[in-house]
Chain A
Amino acid sequence: MRKTFYSIICLLLMQQICFAEDPKEIVPPSLIFELLALNGDLETVQRPRYLSPSSMEVSPDGKFIYIGARTAKQVLVFSVSSNSVTKSFPMPNEPTGIAVSGDGSRLYVTCSSERWPNGMVCVVNVSSGTIEQRISAGHMARSPVLSPDGDMLYVCNWMENSISFINVVSAREEKRVPAIKEPYSMALSGDGAFLLVANMIPDGIATDTAMTCKVCFIDTKTGSIKKTLRLPTGSHSTMNICLTPDKKYAFIPHLIGRVSLPAVTLDQGWVHSNNLAIIDMEKQDLYNDVELDDNRLGFANPWDVACTDDGKWLCVAHAGYDVLTVVDMPAMFEKLKGKGDVSHEFTFIQDLKRTLVLRVRSPRSVAVIGSKAYTVGYFSNSIESVDLNAASLLPQLHELAPEKALTAERKGESYFYDANLCVGHWQSCHSCHPFTRPDGLNWILSDSYLNSPKNAKSMLHTFQTPPTNWTGRRNDAFESVRAGIRLELQIDPSAEVSLALDTFLLRLKPVPSPKLVKGRLSESAQRGREIYYDSKKLDCIHCHPAPLFTNLKNANAGVVDIYDPRTEWDTPSIIECWRTGPYNHLGSHETIEEIVLQPGHSKNVKALTSEEFRDLIEYILSL
């Protein structure tokens, strides 16, 4: 009996031993490499580990600049005395913004990425370089701002259209309040009573010819929007905010799209001008809006702005044109006294500014210490400094890390943001397709039929979903890229630039929707998925079948277009439609609900119960 028992036991165990896989087969070296490389941590031929410096913050003693190196997932500590990087702090995700505690002992680094957009704030101990805490924030969290008492951190949840209020003492997000559309940057009033939030993309429908993006004032006690300001009509891409040293004014660089004009020329800001909004923080009103371009030369894509502590100089980094504009700030305010709107006066600050051509590529951040300005370029592994008080601006370049050769994909990305390719440096591809996605506006392109407006399209999956254009008249994105260079940048498309842009656009990946719960469909979205795929109930999958969610054909969705007699339009992919509103070729529907309910768009949708309809929309917005 005992023998039998032991035999059975031994046989069972032997069987287990025999069937057990070698752990190294389950976790081979190639798997570890794959996991880390797909996560952007290990370098590959396709994806070298570039720094991509995109944010800066100065230590309270002015001795160091903390630089958020996005794709390297690091915060670099740059010493201004040695002009070198002295330390680097690894981050678990891409750093998108930095705030420094009043005593300089802690950094609050917002981290998020297109791969892993769930935002977090990493609390970094500056002396040890360790992350003491991670605090959850919203989707694509960025632009952290610390309250004057240092207890509350405010964070823009860019793609979630909200602001997080994070108590850094209890390490807890206390509330999340709504902003308007794509809050990208933020500043706090001097007394800490309200936040000034710049919404990057216009809300509303694109057929509204007065469409523009808005800035809003949020009460820090209640979290409610107290006031909303419209920037000049056609404004968008508000990339940053900076307060004057006395906190009386805020500067917001932005673009103005002349959407009501056919885009036949670029000269004199015909399509885009590059501006600076000045907000009166006491009156909570638009004080004025200054043209940053010259009469015959655009200064594309103003991205960041900073002032010297003595209030003498205002610096604007132009990411598209690779220049730094330095404005005599007191003289500018003196000249603005009693002036009406100067947002279209190209020469208004011409005699008040100096221009410095930078060697860093795509400067997206500028910081000021004393009379020195520092800029970093997204496509450069270096930082450039210049003494603003010097008679002539002589920049110095300091290496942050050895430069790496650009792959075709990275070259394409740099070209996408590069207005040096454009006649007159007026705009880059990013101007109409911010971060390769739509700007929400309607454009009358120069070769459009009957000068009819069309809503800007996302570049995501553009190569995989031919034909391109709303009319489908271009065969594919290959053709559209070259047409875009020829018509919108007004240069001959070189093979090098075109092919690099092709490579970059070909490899774009969708950003997971903020509607997902920990990366998965919510219960409502799961129910909505069942409805979406039920062809007996609805006809969604006929025109928007997975995996690209378009059948690549033209269709009549019942949209009324008073400008264009045609009725059939390219069926767009609905991947990422949570961020691509307003909808249809004319941008005349603000929400997905509206376009789905549009008569002629979908059969039987009105037969759904309100719960089923809600679930369906939840699913569509989760894609």
Chain B
Amino acid sequence: MKKIRSGQTVSFLSAIFLLAVSISARIDRIDIFDKAGNSLLFVEFEYDADGKNTGRSVYASDSTFLRRTVFVNDNTGKRIREVSFDFNNDTIGRTEFSTIGNKPGISVFDQFKLDQFGAPVSYSANGENSYDIYHNGSVVYKMRYSSNAGGDLSRIEVLSPQNELLYYASVSTPSSSVKGYTGGATVVPKITFSANHFHLSADFNSVTDVKLCIYDLSGRLVSVPFSKRLKPGLFKGQFSIDEPGRRLPGGVYIARLYINDKASASTHRFINKAGSLR
């Protein structure tokens, strides 16, 4: 086993691993935007222990839960239906799969069996990564799938029949960064200082990198007490001004928050009352 530490072996394994990841990278989440880049929705996918996709949850772009969908398979394992549930776990709809003129298609119903689209929707390939979407007998939209340099599916575009971009979805896999809401934080995080602590509260639409930098009055960076990637939703906590194991001397400092590596517009001047080490 020691031999795997040799450079040659590690390179070989890395290559195989990367190949495997590039082929098998599962889709964790998709974020859907309008053509102006406004985030509309995101979907998180669920998998079983074998890596098989078993369902998904749909959220509005501010992380508001909209519905959860699970798949119903026949005894051969073929998916025959999807059932959607609301916040109370009550059924609110189902999607039926069918073949419409040799094209795979769906019909979507609410819990009262009312057809939500008025007619089935089907699609057919129009090239390797392009599809025509049929509804009520004609092509109503087109979709184009594209991959990143690693070969992973990274973007799906919804186009008009005249090829005008209408919407797009960015695809997140474990090997690609989560795109999320790209228009900036919904709410500037709220930060208050007391003694040698600070309170941070925020409500993000997507995964957001948050960093707090402390500068002395000469503008020298003296501490980075908080640097985290925060999940979408509400975040609230109290943290020490000190970096772990290093006490910040008492005095006047200036703090600045960085959201996704961009400095927030305002700074905070505060007095550090040099508390005890954690």
User: Which A residues contact B (CB, under 8 angstroms)?
Assistant: 1-2, 5, 9-10, 13, 16-17, 19-21, 23-30, 32-39, 41-47, 89-93, 115-116, 118, 120, 129-136, 170-173, 407, 464, 506-507, 509, 512, 516, 518-521, 529, 546-547, 622-623
Pull 18 A–B residue pairs with CB atoms less than 8 Å apart, ordered by A: A16-B24, A19-B51, A28-B104, A29-B143, A30-B106, A33-B133, A35-B58, A41-B167, A42-B166, A46-B116, A46-B118, A92-B34, A92-B39, A116-B60, A170-B266, A506-B114, A507-B114, A519-B65
- Asked if B105 and A30 make an inter-chain contact with CB atoms under 8 angstroms apart, the answer reads yes
If A38-B116, A136-B203 touch, does A13 touch B16 (CB 8 Å cutoff)? yes
- Asked if A42 and B118 make an inter-chain contact with CB atoms under 8 angstroms apart, the answer reads no
Instruction: A135 to B205: give the CA distance in the assembly, Å.
Output: 11
- Asked if B38 and A92 make an inter-chain contact with CB atoms under 8 angstroms apart, the answer reads yes
If A129-B36, A506-B114, A519-B59 touch, does A33 touch B169 (CB 8 Å cutoff)? no
Minimum CB–CB distance for B65 against chain A, Å:
3
Output the nearest chain B residue to A40 by Cβ-Cβ distance: B40
Among B3, B37, B62, B266, the residue within 8 A (CB) of A136 is B62
Among A2, A27, A29, A546, the residue within 8 A (CB) of B3 is A2
Output the nearest chain A residue to B39 by Cβ-Cβ distance: A92
- Asked if A134 and B188 make an inter-chain contact with CB atoms under 8 angstroms apart, the answer reads no
If A116-B60, A136-B186, A546-B90 touch, does A17 touch B36 (CB 8 Å cutoff)? no
Give the chain A neighbours of B152 by CB distance below 8 A. Answer: 23
- Name which of B134-142, B212-220, B242-250 contacts chain A: B134-142
If A27-B153, A171-B187 touch, does A521 touch B108 (CB 8 Å cutoff)? no
**CB of B66 within 8 A of chain A?**
yes
**Quick one: CB contact mask for B41-71 with A, threshold 8 Å, 1 for yes?**
1010100001111000011111111100000
Known: A30-B104, A30-B133, A33-B141. 13 other contacts (CB 8 A): A2-B3, A13-B19, A37-B116, A42-B167, A45-B119, A45-B135, A46-B118, A130-B37, A131-B183, A132-B183, A136-B62, A172-B190, A509-B110
Give the chain B neighbours of A509 by CB distance below 8 A. Answer: 110
If A23-B171, A519-B87, A547-B90 touch, does A17 touch B24 (CB 8 Å cutoff)? yes
- Asked if A27 and B169 make an inter-chain contact with CB atoms under 8 angstroms apart, the answer reads yes
If A13-B20, A17-B24, A136-B203 touch, does A43 touch B140 (CB 8 Å cutoff)? yes
Minimum CB–CB distance for B256 against chain A, Å:
15
If A30-B121, A116-B64, A547-B90 touch, does A134 touch B108 (CB 8 Å cutoff)? no
- Asked if A13 and B34 make an inter-chain contact with CB atoms under 8 angstroms apart, the answer reads no
Instruction: A464 to B136: give the CA distance in the assembly, Å.
Output: 28
Instruction: A255 to B230: give the CA distance in the assembly, Å.
Output: 49
Give the chain A neighbours of B203 by CB distance below 8 A. Answer: 136
Instruction: A93 to B36: give the CA distance in the assembly, Å.
Output: 13
- Asked if A512 and B122 make an inter-chain contact with CB atoms under 8 angstroms apart, the answer reads no
Minimum CB–CB distance for A72 against chain B, Å:
12
Among A21, A29, A43, A172, the residue within 8 A (CB) of B52 is A21
Among A33, A90, A506, A518, the residue within 8 A (CB) of B63 is A518
- Asked if B66 and A519 make an inter-chain contact with CB atoms under 8 angstroms apart, the answer reads yes
Minimum CB–CB distance for A622 against chain B, Å:
8
Minimum CB–CB distance for A168 against chain B, Å:
11
Among A34, A529, A547, the residue within 8 A (CB) of B111 is A547
- Asked if A90 and B35 make an inter-chain contact with CB atoms under 8 angstroms apart, the answer reads yes
- Asked if A27 and B156 make an inter-chain contact with CB atoms under 8 angstroms apart, the answer reads yes
Give the chain A neighbours of B205 by CB distance below 8 A. Answer: 134
- Asked if B34 and A90 make an inter-chain contact with CB atoms under 8 angstroms apart, the answer reads yes
Minimum CB–CB distance for B119 against chain A, Å:
5
**CB of B235 within 8 A of chain A?**
no
If A9-B16, A170-B188, A519-B59 touch, does A529 touch B88 (CB 8 Å cutoff)? yes
- Asked if A519 and B64 make an inter-chain contact with CB atoms under 8 angstroms apart, the answer reads yes
Instruction: A535 to B61: give the CA distance in the assembly, Å.
Output: 38
Give the chain B neighbours of A34 by CB distance below 8 A. Answer: 95, 106, 108, 121
Among B53, B104, B186, the residue within 8 A (CB) of A134 is B186
Minimum CB–CB distance for B96 against chain A, Å:
11
Output the nearest chain B residue to A510 by Cβ-Cβ distance: B86
Q: Number of contacting residues on B, CB 8 A?
A: 86
Give the chain A neighbours of B91 by CB distance below 8 A. Answer: 547
Among A16, A41, A45, the residue within 8 A (CB) of B40 is A41
Give the chain A neighbours of B58 by CB distance below 8 A. Answer: 35
Give the chain B neighbours of A89 by CB distance below 8 A. Answer: 36
Among B4, B23, B116, the residue within 8 A (CB) of A5 is B4
- Asked if A24 and B117 make an inter-chain contact with CB atoms under 8 angstroms apart, the answer reads no
Instruction: A526 to B114: give the CA distance in the assembly, Å.
Output: 30
Minimum CB–CB distance for B181 against chain A, Å:
8
Give the chain A neighbours of B169 by CB distance below 8 A. Answer: 27, 32
Minimum CB–CB distance for B66 against chain A, Å:
6
Chain B CB within 10 Å, residue with most, of A507, A547, A622: A547
Output the nearest chain B residue to A115 by Cβ-Cβ distance: B66
Minimum CB–CB distance for A175 against chain B, Å:
13
Instruction: A16 to B16: give the CA distance in the assembly, Å.
Output: 12
Instruction: A186 to B25: give the CA distance in the assembly, Å.
Output: 52
Give the chain B neighbours of A23 by CB distance below 8 A. Answer: 27, 152-153, 171
Give the chain A neighbours of B122 by CB distance below 8 A. Answer: 30
Instruction: A10 to B15: give the CA distance in the assembly, Å.
Output: 12
- Asked if B115 and A46 make an inter-chain contact with CB atoms under 8 angstroms apart, the answer reads yes
- Asked if A35 and B43 make an inter-chain contact with CB atoms under 8 angstroms apart, the answer reads yes
**Quick one: CB contact mask for B210-234 with A, threshold 8 Å, 1 for yes?**
0000000000000000000000011
Among B30, B38, B41, B90, the residue within 8 A (CB) of A27 is B30
- Asked if A120 and B40 make an inter-chain contact with CB atoms under 8 angstroms apart, the answer reads no
Instruction: A370 to B166: give the CA distance in the assembly, Å.
Output: 37
- Asked if A17 and B23 make an inter-chain contact with CB atoms under 8 angstroms apart, the answer reads yes
**CB of B253 within 8 A of chain A?**
no
Give the chain B neighbours of A9 by CB distance below 8 A. Answer: 13, 16
- Asked if B87 and A512 make an inter-chain contact with CB atoms under 8 angstroms apart, the answer reads yes
- Asked if B24 and A35 make an inter-chain contact with CB atoms under 8 angstroms apart, the answer reads no
**CB of B149 within 8 A of chain A?**
no
If A29-B143, A39-B40 touch, does A118 touch B60 (CB 8 Å cutoff)? yes
Give the chain B neighbours of A32 by CB distance below 8 A. Answer: 32, 143, 156, 158, 167, 169
**Quick one: CB contact mask for B166-203 with A, threshold 8 Å, 1 for yes?**
11010100000000000110111010000000000001
- Asked if B123 and A30 make an inter-chain contact with CB atoms under 8 angstroms apart, the answer reads yes
**CB of B145 within 8 A of chain A?**
yes
Minimum CB–CB distance for A112 against chain B, Å:
11
Give the chain A neighbours of B233 by CB distance below 8 A. Answer: 518
Among A30, A118, A129, the residue within 8 A (CB) of B64 is A118
Minimum CB–CB distance for B71 against chain A, Å:
11
- Asked if A20 and B26 make an inter-chain contact with CB atoms under 8 angstroms apart, the answer reads yes
Give the chain A neighbours of B110 by CB distance below 8 A. Answer: 507, 509
Output the nearest chain A residue to B265 by Cβ-Cβ distance: A170
Among B118, B167, B188, the residue within 8 A (CB) of A44 is B118
Give the chain A neighbours of B156 by CB distance below 8 A. Answer: 27, 29, 32
Minimum CB–CB distance for B95 against chain A, Å:
6
Minimum CB–CB distance for B74 against chain A, Å:
16
Give the chain B neighbours of A529 by CB distance below 8 A. Answer: 88
